[in-house]
Structure 1
Amino acid sequence: MPQTGAPPGWGLADIAVPLPSDRLPGSSMAGFRYRASVFTDVAMVAHPSVSLFIDLSEGEGPVYRTRGRSRRGSVVVGLVPGDLRTGGLRGECLQIRLDPAAAGAVLGTATGLTGSVVSLADVWGRDAGRAEDRLRAAASWDERFTIAGEILGRRLHARPAVDPEVAFAWRQVRSSRGRARVDGLADEVGWSRKRLSARFRAQLGITPKRAARLVRFDHAARLLAAGHSAAGVAAESGYVDQSHLHREVKSFTGCTPTAVAVAPWLAIDDAAWPGASPGRSPVTGGRTRP
């Protein structure tokens, strides 16, 4: 797999990503090997995906904190989790990002995860421990990505997908970078606005309008991290003005655009999710074994 070093300014972990041919539709993965026990407190930035953090370390795993509650080990982070921070980083971790349209099938639910961080065992039951054991025993990241792909694929095919209309609306929200209007989406799928909003929220755990705000924020945050000015980002991302951008960034992160621009969490994205960030070239390496 392409294996990267740590991105500039990060310095905490080596990052591995699967080859494009190994990626499962609706999901993306990255493996992290922390170079030493790191007890830093890192703010995690909201992303338009449901994320699984599978702890592969020996002993105590990382701690995730949001809204006054803490979780340790393997967790599922729902959409828009609020003020989310992680610390106690050590060992290895597999992060899986799931498209919300796929998350319901993989996890058995998506609606109850919005705004929350829950233990993977609470979602998968005993299967969580079995998955951790298989992944921990694997000899390489290549093998781990293959195992994770098998687990995700089996779950995707075992459960019904979301309504085609809901899946289409979500894709339109993503492809438009959050600029798609709910009325227009409803017209395209032949539903009323009320019905689309209700089905969208029931199946993805978020309203179309909130989803569009999240996607637009994600695009803006990555432009900020790529070094673009706040004024330019506001115009590029479809905000009314710079003040509007400031309010939205504050709403999703509690931080100013200036703080988000240097957020360590966003600094790893070019390495962990090649090609996902606008305004930068993806960082890749040769095919090596960890």
Structure 2
Amino acid sequence: MRAPAHVEPVWDVARPAGPSRTTGVRMAGFRDRGTAGAGAGAGAGQRAIPHPGLTLVLEFGAGPLIVENGADRHGGSLVAGLGLAAGDIRVRGDGFEAVQVRLSPLVAHAVLGVPPSALDGAMVPLDDLWGREAARVRDRLAGLRRWDDRFALADVLLARRAAEPDRPRPDPEVAWAWRRIIGSRGLARVDGLADEVGWSRKRLWSRFRTQVGLPPKRAATLVRFDHAVHRLVAGVSPARAAAESGYADQSHLHRDVVSFAGLTPAAVIAEPFLAVDEFAWPTRL
């Protein structure tokens, strides 16, 4: 994937040297370059593009990290539900540093302590979920100077939480359905998933919604959008991206991009968030 040459991320990005010890966890480190005073971060901020994973932000820098979705405004460490909430979500700050974690919904309940459905695509301060542990994690991250050490600390924390024996796990049928949707890039025949796992449609829809955070059809639409938008950023034409991603036609792709990102396909490729995405998230969950 290649972002347009004129698009430059306004954050420095660090990546771990290797994969997380916890399946379904991917991390990156972000540091604001201190250009907010010139308008890069302090003004409108970067538009966040929804993706098929839950987001955990562990903020520890000297400056504030602010995430806004209309009147909904959060500062500091937070959690965002699957796909974020579609719309105009802005991330801005002045000198912030943070470890951002993308969580597969299959491991999110164990790590976060609440089912993905409890977030319902919204943003929640991490303090509300982890209590005093959130502040302790922030202090420990702030005391480290190397990104490798920060990633190691976060990885140990996430692995410990995920391994706690009393943490709920998704039903095998739900996990299979999610992996089927991801593996097909959102093109799996959703109506046939219940038959394939031997459940009624009502039962699968209910369990999937609770344990993943979205109904199967919406989850498949999000995964398909994610694939298509990255094809657009790679320089593929909207018509070709629509065909490769399983859309009926280019207008269908247009509607989904506007619905999830609040932008047209022609505009979304210029978003700095996706330039950052190239370096931070080179593979899918």
The two structures have a TM-score, normalised by structure 1, of 0.88
Q: Where do 5+ consecutive residues of structure 1 fail to align? A: 1-6, 278-290
Which one of 145, 151, 156 corresponds to residue 151 of structure 2?
A: 145
Aligned position for 1:164: 172
Which one of 162, 170, 192 corresponds to residue 200 of structure 2?
A: 192
Which one of 217, 227, 249 corresponds to residue 219 of structure 1?
A: 227
1:61 is the counterpart of 2:64: yes
Aligned position for 2:133: 127
Aligned position for 1:18: 16
Say whether the 8 Å CA contact 1:169–1:185 is kept in structure 2.
yes
Spell out, residue by residue over 1:13-36, the C-alpha distance to the aligned partner (whole angstroms, 9 max, x if none).
221111224453111000112221
CA–CA separation in structure 2 for the residues paired with 1:175 and 1:125: 36
Structure 2 counterpart of 1:135, which letter? L
Which structure has more relative contact order (CA 8 Å, sep 6+)? It is 2
CA–CA separation in structure 2 for the residues paired with 1:175 and 1:15: 27
Aligned position for 1:287: none
Change in Cα spacing, 1:255 to 1:21, as seen in structure 2 (3 Å) is closer
3-state DSSP of counterpart to 2:68: strand
Spell out, residue by residue over 1:54-107, the C-alpha distance to the aligned partner (whole angstroms, 9 max, x if none).
11112x411111131111111111123122111224231111000011111111
Query: Offset of 1:151 from its aligned partner?
Result: 0.8
Which one of 227, 238, 241 corresponds to residue 249 of structure 2?
A: 241
Say whether the 8 Å CA contact 2:20–2:26 is kept in structure 1.
no
Say whether the 8 Å CA contact 1:269–1:276 is kept in structure 2.
no
Aligned position for 2:110: 105
Structure 2 counterpart of 1:103, which letter? A
Q: Which 4+ runs in 1 deviate beyond 6 A?
A: none
Query: Offset of 1:250 from its aligned partner?
Result: 1.1
Aligned position for 2:100: 95
Aligned position for 1:50: 54
Which range moves more in the overlay, 76-85 or 90-99? 76-85
CA–CA separation in structure 1 for the residues paired with 2:30 and 2:216: 32
Q: RMSD across aligned C-alpha pairs, in angstroms?
A: 1.7
Structure 1 counterpart of 2:269, which letter? A
CA–CA separation in structure 2 for the residues paired with 1:88 and 1:28: 23
Change in Cα spacing, 1:87 to 1:205, as seen in structure 2 (3 Å) is same
Query: Offset of 1:113 from its aligned partner?
Result: 1.1
Query: Offset of 1:260 from its aligned partner?
Result: 1.0
Query: Offset of 1:139 from its aligned partner?
Result: 3.1
3-state DSSP of counterpart to 1:97: strand
Count of residue pairs brought into register by the alignment = 270
Change in Cα spacing, 1:21 to 1:241, as seen in structure 2 (3 Å) is closer
